Structure 1
Amino acid sequence: MRHSVAVTHSSRSTAILLTLLALSGSVSEAQNADWDTYLGDVARRHYSPLDQITPENVAELEVAWTYDSGELRAGNSTMYTSPLVVDGVLYGLSPRLVAFALDAATGEELWRYDPGIEGAPQRGLMWWERETDSGTAARLFFTGNDALVALDPAAGQPVIDFGENGVVDLSATVEGEGPLRVTVPGIVFEDLIVMGFSTSEAAGALPGAISAYS
């Protein structure tokens, strides 16, 4: 079983995903567990019930695979995003807010989608799913500055019937003028995405509104 963490290669300042593998043959095989919420759950406790990696065998970890987003450039090469893992697929964002999906076991890139939105670093993504008559419907959400993007996690393409061609303008629901950005994922509650905003602290700044989107 593999556990994935986002790290930054300090000598090259490039974005790399590093996956570690527990080698101890004496450790019992744990069941797979999804990590479908930013930092583990809505309380953001950073906790997983997986128990294959322990204080006793952590020294035996070694690299299973790495993923380089290929975005080595001055000033914008740090990967801030904490990935999600659902059904064996790892979802993340590059420094340029390009979404990608990897096979969590091998690191193979499954798809990559560039929404053309460059902005402040984004620390995570949001996952929504619901059972329907035709099966499970799922969506992968992330933000870039004042845009909320919805992707089909299987195909890596925008959900056309969400907002305008898969994008909602978050600034449209906030009164006033000024910079608005979202750097931390919202919370998915049933069929709602609850979002907060980062705004300026100067006079005339936008209010720190909380909004919900279907």
Structure 2
Amino acid sequence: MHTLTATVPIRDRRTGDLFDRPGPGATRIGTGFLPGRVPALALTGDRLRCLLADGAEVTLTAPFDADRLPPATGDTLPGQIVATGGGLLRAGADGRVRLDGTVLTRIKPGDTLLGMGDVTATGRPDLLVRRPDGGVSAWEPPGTPGGGHWHDLGSSFGDTTVVAVTLSSEGLAGLLALGGGLLTVYPHSGIFWPQDPAATFLPPVPVATGVADVDVIG
């Protein structure tokens, strides 16, 4: 069974404040990281990776304060970054996804990086993305029986939006989703059927409340 956790850092999109976890009692760990200036954030330990609106990438160490970032140029370049257990994922304007500089695959326009985790129960991490229709797909890397192609994990996530990947104590990937002021997790069932990948996840379980306007920052 997927071990649930709500200890994920978040950003309040309205204020740019960063918190160590969602919900009441959270500790503020950063200030001033408004989405218009810093579209994407990834947190690994005491290092905060910031992808700025002009495409520049800056790394800050704790304490986190957006006043330490360089001035924005006003030129906007697309890009995404997500912290994973194995390093830093980055998707460029050309759709190529790199893990610490190594190209993994290419995503389609409008796809959003969610992270990496073992969805296919092979013991190796898969790349997960949210599609423009709200559905989720997983790219299984080469070297496994079903590797080298995409699996459609479905689009039935109710009124929630899948925003990140969370890992269980068993090492399997679940999906974190936001909706209606709740942070929920869709736990991995423990089984992956290539012929029916949309059946991989169990019904959602709420793990935090009061998270209406936040980003999970990894």
Please tell me the TM-score bracket, short chain as reference. Answer: 0.3 to 0.5
Larger Rg: 1
Q: What TM-score results when the alignment is normalised by the length of structure 1?
A: 0.38
